[in-house]
């Protein structure tokens, strides 16, 4: 059932517009805002968000949530979906696949939900995908980088599309890992490299792709070790790594592991850079112990340096969010705008029913979507649902802050 507008509902929505964001439970945030004088007589449609808004990755998840809220409010201000008020329903998955799957099921069962922006974690996405497949609910991830999510376990040799309703706006680890390796080996001349992973699938995948390219370029992987995601003392693993005298350590994990690990390596006298992919690229990495010279690659180009990204940055700052947009906020903003713009197209000559047929039509529209005017520039999808934008950037910690040193489109060699 579509939520019909009424005098009471209009009053509630008007209050929501004033409040902007309201906490509606420990793991849920709703936001509307900006309806102005638009015709909302057809009711309210929901953009779902699934992201880690508490716990160790909350800095990333809150940036995702806020950026989708910004897109929703801007759409309402522009009357982007004729006849409808848009609202955001953000669910905190705590980086837990079970919580992400439960949130996705609720969204799939609610015909008012037009699409999901999320998840950030690839492991959470793996739990979400089968939950929403039969409902045809479109999912656009701003952060999943595991190539298997779109092309299957044999993504390198026999790629096969996994879910027709799954899309992402970021590049994948089979590109990002090699991009990182090319910088460390070719630009910094690191020829003896250690690898430490947290054992999660995405960390293992990025490390494996990194190692393939590093070895192709003549580097030696001197040791590969695992730590537990909940570990805080890495001394035993680092002692073994130090004995192999690496010139760099690639960490297949995220900032909550890699930051403390960098500090403990330095304290142990292992004065080599820590390197990793987008999970490291957050101010929290430095706050937790990341040091000058450490390296991270991330998806896209520095958003502040893109002509297309400056408007997003300015609008985000103007909203006065308590949290920064982080490394994935701009991607969440682009993902939300894909869904919003195409819902407006699907409902241009009718009403939203949320039927599988209508959701399928929206999936087809997303598949054909392409623009070079996203916050990150090019936004579009290939036949697997992967982003056609293969831009990556290398950042190093310089004087206590991340500084971009190299951006480019990934090219297979």
pLDDT one-digit tens code per residue, 274-325: 999 998 998 899 999 999 999 999 999 999 999 889 999 999 999 999 999 9
User: pTM for this one?
Assistant: 0.84
Q: What is the pLDDT of residue 230?
A: 85
206 in helix, strand or coil? helix
Kind and range of the H or E element at 322? none
Kind and range of the H or E element at 150? helix 148-151
**Which of the pair, 411 or 314, is modelled with greater confidence?**
314
What is the distance between the alpha carbons of residues 232 and 268, in angstroms, rounded to a whole number? 15
What is the distance between the alpha carbons of residues 378 and 363, in angstroms, rounded to a whole number? 19
Task: Name which of 177, 181, 203 is nearest 190 in CA terms.
Answer: 181
Task: Name which of 337, 305, 256 is nearest 67 in CA terms.
Answer: 337
Q: What is the pLDDT of residue 330?
A: 97
> Which residues lie closer than 8 Å to 108 by C-beta, 6 or more apart?
131, 132, 134, 135, 137
**Does the pLDDT of residue 13 top 50, yes or no?**
no
**Does the pLDDT of residue 33 top 80, yes or no?**
no
What is the distance between the alpha carbons of residues 343 and 361, in angstroms, rounded to a whole number? 10
Both structure tokens of 35: 């309806």
86 in helix, strand or coil? strand
Phi, psi of 405 (to 5 degrees): -125, -20
pLDDT tier at 8 (50, 70, 90 boundaries)?
Answer: very low
Burial of 31 (0-12, 13-18, 19+ CB in 10 A): buried
| Structure letter (DSSP) for residue 294 | -
**Which of the pair, 229 or 214, is modelled with greater confidence?**
214
């Amino acid at each position: 059932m579509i939520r019909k507008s009424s005098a009471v509902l209009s009053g509630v929505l008007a209050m929501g517009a004033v409040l902007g964001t309201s906490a509606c439970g420990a793991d849920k945030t709703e936001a509307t805002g900006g309806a102005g004088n638009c015709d909302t007589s057809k009711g309210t449609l929901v953009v779902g968000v699934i992201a880690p808004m508490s716990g160790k990755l909350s800095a990333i998840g809150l940036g995702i949530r806020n950026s989708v809220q910004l897109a929703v409010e801007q759409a309402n201000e522009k009357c982007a979906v004729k006849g409808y008020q848009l609202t955001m329903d953000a669910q905190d998955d705590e980086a837990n696949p079970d919580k992400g799957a439960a949130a996705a099921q609720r969204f799939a069962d609610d015909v008012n939900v037009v699409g999901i922006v999320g998840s950030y974690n690839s492991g959470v996405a793996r739990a979400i995908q089968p939950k929403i497949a039969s409902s045809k609910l479109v999912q656009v991830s701003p952060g999943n980088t595991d190539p298997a999510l779109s092309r299957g376990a044999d993504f390198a040799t026999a790629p096969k599309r996994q879910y027709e309703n799954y899309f992402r706006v970021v590049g994948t680890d089979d590109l990002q890992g090699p991009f990182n390796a090319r910088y460390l080996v070719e630009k910094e001349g690191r020829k003896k490299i250690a690898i430490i992973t947290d054992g999660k699938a995405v960390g293992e995948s990025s490390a494996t792709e990194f190692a393939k390219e590093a070895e192709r370029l003549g580097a030696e992987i001197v040791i590969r070790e695992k730590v537990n995601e909940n570990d805080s003392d890495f001394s035993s693993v680092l002692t073994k790594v130090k004995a192999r005298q690496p010139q760099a350590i690639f960490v297949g994990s995220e900032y909550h592991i890699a930051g403390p690990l960098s500090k403990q390596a330095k304290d142990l006298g292992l004065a080599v850079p820590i390197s990793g992919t987008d999970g490291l690229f957050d101010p929290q990495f430095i706050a937790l112990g990341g040091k000058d010279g450490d390296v991270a690659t991330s998806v896209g180009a520095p958003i502040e340096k893109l002509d297309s990204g400056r408007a997003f940055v300015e609008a985000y700052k103007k909203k006065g969010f308590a949290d920064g947009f982080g490394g994935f906020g701009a991607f969440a903003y682009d993902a939300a705008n894909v869904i919003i713009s195409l819902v407006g197209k699907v409902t241009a000559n009718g009403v939203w029913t949320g039927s599988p047929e209508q959701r399928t039509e929206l999936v087809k529209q997303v598949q054909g979507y392409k623009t070079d005017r996203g916050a990150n520039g090019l936004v579009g999808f290939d036949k697997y649902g992967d982003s056609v934008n293969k831009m990556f950037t290398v950042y190093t910690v310089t004087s206590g802050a991340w500084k971009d040193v190299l951006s480019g489109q990934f090219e297979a060699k």
